[in-house]
Structure formats: structure tokens, C-alpha cells
Copies of this chain bind each other. A is one copy, B any other.
């Protein structure tokens, strides 16, 4: 937690917040703050600044906050991910949030096991929790939006073309002959398949919708590695 992200519920007046639970524990046991110390804070979808610890007890910390700094620029990226295996999902969400991805779509694919969609990590509460952890790591405040589409074909045929308008659209597809572009630095949409990849039918459908199939070289990367590698490659001027 390099920054404590503040939500509306935390505010007791326009410039005071009370922190409890995870953020309080972190202040106490990791940062080891004392009354009078200031810590970095940011208001969700708002500005960042510092919070002075006015009062610290076992159950709450009251902070006087001053927000005067804009959060880092968001990435101009729509990231479309085949729903990952639950044990990787939280980490991928956190990584996306840390990297500045703001528009995340979770879609189905032949190799996405049905059970992946049953994970409790897809609840609104858990999504927000993991995205918050990623933002707090990065020192950012803009909450990403996550959308879930459990049917591949209607998504790709009915929604994707409009979503790709005005963007360079790519699908990461090991084995294709076109290398992924570097330093694109303009609005992009990027589809990343499941373990084992999108099927040829799925790649065809994504290409029909306007995506260019690109590869990242001979190495097969896990999704959690592919996301930072691709983001860094496309947006070198923005990180």
C-alpha cells in the first residue's frame, strides 16, 4: 500500500477520513505510523495528496487530508481477457490496475473451463478489493471498470466492433507471423487468450471483428506475464 485509497464512506467531513480494517492494520504494522505523521492518500477517481494522522487508536485512524495532485494518466487501452483460472485471476486484476489499465473485459473462450466463472473473486466486492490493491500499489486513484461477457460469439459479433472503433486492435496469438508492434502509444484494444490460446475459430472471429493477430516471439507467456510485457511494449511512452 504505497497510497491509501479513500472511498466516500471513509469521509466524516470534507477533509477528514477514518480508516479501519486492512488500511488501519497496514498503517500500524507495516508503515508503523504515529500521530502527526503524514501518509500518501488518494480519493477514488479523484486527486491524490497526503493525510496527516490526527488520532490513532486500536480500531481507527483519523486523518486530515489534503488532495492537490492529479493521479497518473490512464492507459488508452481496452484489455479483453479470456477469463483466467481463479488462482491467477486476482493477481492479474491487481497487475492490470497497477499498470493503469482502466477498461477490462472478461470473456469466454473454448479453453476457459466453466468452473472459472464460479469464482467468488468475480463479485463486485472482490473485484473492487483487488483493483484497489493494484491502485494502492501503483499510487493511482482511477478505478478500472470490469465487464463480464460469458458468451463469446454475441460479444465478438455484436459488441466488439463498436468497442474497437478508433483503436488499433490486436489479438495476441502465438504462431502468427506478425510481430506485436512496439511503442504504439495511441488508443488500442488488446485481446489475450486463455492457457492454450484462442481456438482457430475464435481467432478468425476476432480478426473478422477487426483485430490483427500478433505474436510476441517464440516464448509462450502466462497471461500474468503477457499483460505487463504487452502493455510495456505498446505504451512505452506512457508508463
List chain A positions with a Cβ less than 8 A from chain B. 2, 72, 95, 98-100, 137-140, 182-183, 216-222, 225, 228-233, 236, 238-239
Contact = CB atoms under 8 A, between A and B. Distances in A.
Given A228-B228, A229-B239, A222 B137 contact: yes
The listed residue with most B CB atoms (<10 A of its CB), out of A219, A221, A231, is A219
Ranked 10 nearest A-B pairs via Cβ? A232-B232, A138-B219, A228-B228, A72-B218, A229-B232, A217-B239, A182-B236, A228-B229, A2-B220, A232-B233
Identical copies in the complex: 2
Given A232-B232, A233-B232, A95 B225 contact: yes
Q: Which of A182, A216, A228 has the most chain B CB atoms closer than 10 A to its own CB?
A: A228
A143 to B, nearest CB: 15
A220 B95 CA distance: 11
Contacts of A221: 98-99, 137-138
A233 B100 CA distance: 16
A100 B239 CA distance: 23
A236 B179 CA distance: 10
Nearest to A3: B220
